[in-house]
């Protein structure tokens, strides 16, 4: 875990930052006031079709305050082996994903992203 996260007192989801698939650091505070559905994803998982349902939710409720946030992870059976560009292309071309996707993170263990380590 990065030292800045270990030392900071993070009290709400809006205190976190994550890197978007395109690489830019994104403060989750930009979603303040919205209902957030934070989802761990993988492109080669038995649950991969979840992208379709998540995109449907995103499309149906985004104007009413819902934001779906996708966080790919390769920790479980190496089911997300691609790089950011491959993940983005897969999600767009197979499921039409338009909700925010972030770079791969660990969701457990010593290197777990702070969002999943609280």
Instruction: Give me the count of residues in the chain.
Output: 118
Query: b/e per residue, 34-65, with b = 16+ CB within 10 A?
Result: eeeebbbbbbeeeebeebeebbeebeeeeeee
Selection from 87, 62, 65 nearest residue 74 by Cα: 87
Q: Per the residue annotation, which of 20, 36, 39, 45 is the catalytic one? A: 45
CA-to-CA dists, residue 63 to 35, 58, 80, angstroms = 11, 9, 30
Q: Is residue 91 among the annotated active site residues?
A: no
Say if residues 108 and 75 touch (Cβ distance below 8 Å): yes
Catalytic residues: 45
């Amino acid at each position: 875990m990065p030292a800045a996260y270990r030392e900071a007192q993070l009290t709400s989801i809006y205190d976190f930052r994550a890197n978007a698939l395109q690489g830019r650091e994104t403060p989750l505070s930009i979603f303040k006031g919205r209902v957030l559905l934070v989802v761990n994803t993988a492109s080669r998982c038995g649950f991969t079709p979840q992208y379709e349902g998540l995109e449907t939710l995103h499309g149906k409720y985004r104007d009413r305050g819902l934001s779906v946030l996708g966080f790919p992870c390769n920790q479980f059976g190496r089911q997300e082996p691609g790089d950011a560009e491959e993940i983005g292309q897969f999600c767009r071309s197979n499921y039409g994903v338009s909700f925010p996707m972030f770079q791969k993170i660990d969701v457990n263990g010593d290197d777990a992203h702070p969002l999943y380590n609280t």
